[in-house]
């Protein structure tokens, strides 16, 4: 587990229990944007004693502690929320509105935009979340095929 998370928890007086460590490790190492239920299922495979309530309480604690971000990812799945650690460099989420694929964009342009907003509005930015919704190349091709094919009567 990254030292930054451990130090941040320690400063907040939060004990890093075995279950909290497991959840943070899953969020940080999965490479996925996990919802609470998926996180629970993955964690349960590693620790059969873990229950749903613990997962939800831990996510709330980690979110309030500023260690994880709760994302809605363009509401692709309705009100579903996804989690990722805040240790990643700031990035934009690129979401396909058809298949739900999520890509992450790390670019200097995001830092420039952040600086421009801060300067133009005199705003002290604590975090920035950027979501871009559209269609991935595969789904664009499928949409074009669907639009070209006349609907059956």
Tens digits of per-residue pLDDT, 48-66?
988 999 999 988 888 887 7
Architecture of domain 1-87: Orthogonal Bundle (1.10)
Dihedrals φ, ψ of 62, to 5°?
A: -70, -35
pTM comes to 0.67
1-87 shares its CATH topology with 89-153:
no
Percentage, residues of the chain above pLDDT 90:
31
For the chain, the residue count is 153
Q: What confidence tier does 32 reach under pLDDT thresholds 50, 70, 90?
A: confident
CA–CA distance, 7 with 92 (Å, rounded to integer): 26
Read off the pLDDT of each residue in 16-30 and give the average, rounded to a whole number: 83
- Complete DSSP assignment for 79-106: T--EEEETTSPP-EEEEETTT--EEEE-
- Predicted local distance difference test score (pLDDT) of residue 87: 66
Q: Residue 134 is inside which H or E element, if any?
A: strand 130-134
Please state, in angstroms and as integers, the Cα–Cα distance from residue 14 to each residue in 10, 24, 27, 57, 130, following that order. 6, 13, 18, 13, 29
Tens digits of per-residue pLDDT, 69-124?
888 877 777 778 888 877 667 888 899 999 988 898 988 998 899 999 999 999 99
* Domain-wise residue ranges, the chain: 1-87, 89-153
The CATH topology of domain 89-153 is Dna Ligase; domain 1 (3.30.1490)
Query: Minimal CA–CA distance to 84: which of 102, 70, 103?
Result: 70
CA atoms within 13 A of residue 117's CA, in its CB half-sphere: 11
CA–CA distance, 153 with 92 (Å, rounded to integer): 42
Q: Kindly give the pairing relationship between strand 34-35 and strand 82-85.
A: antiparallel
Token pair, residue 126, equals 């604590």
Q: pLDDT at residue 151 above 70?
A: no
Q: What confidence tier does 1 reach under pLDDT thresholds 50, 70, 90?
A: low
Q: Kindly give the pairing relationship between strand 82-85 and strand 130-134.
A: unpaired
């Amino acid at each position: 587990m990254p030292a930054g998370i451990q130090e941040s928890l320690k400063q907040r007086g939060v004990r890093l229990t075995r279950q909290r460590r497991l959840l943070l490790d899953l969020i940080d190492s999965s490479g996925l944007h996990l919802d609470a239920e998926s996180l629970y299922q993955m964690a349960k495979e590693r620790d059969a004693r873990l229950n749903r309530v613990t997962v939800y309480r831990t996510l709330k604690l980690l979110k309030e502690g500023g260690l994880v971000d709760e994302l809605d990812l363009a509401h692709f799945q309705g009100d579903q929320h996804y989690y990722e650690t805040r240790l990643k460099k700031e990035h934009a989420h690129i979401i396909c509105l058809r298949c739900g694929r999520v890509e992450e964009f790390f670019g200097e342009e995001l830092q420039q935009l952040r600086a421009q907003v801060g300067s133009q509005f005199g705003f002290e930015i604590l975090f920035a979340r950027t979501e871009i919704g559209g269609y991935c190349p595969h789904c664009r091709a499928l949409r074009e095929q669907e639009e070209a094919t006349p609907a059956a009567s």
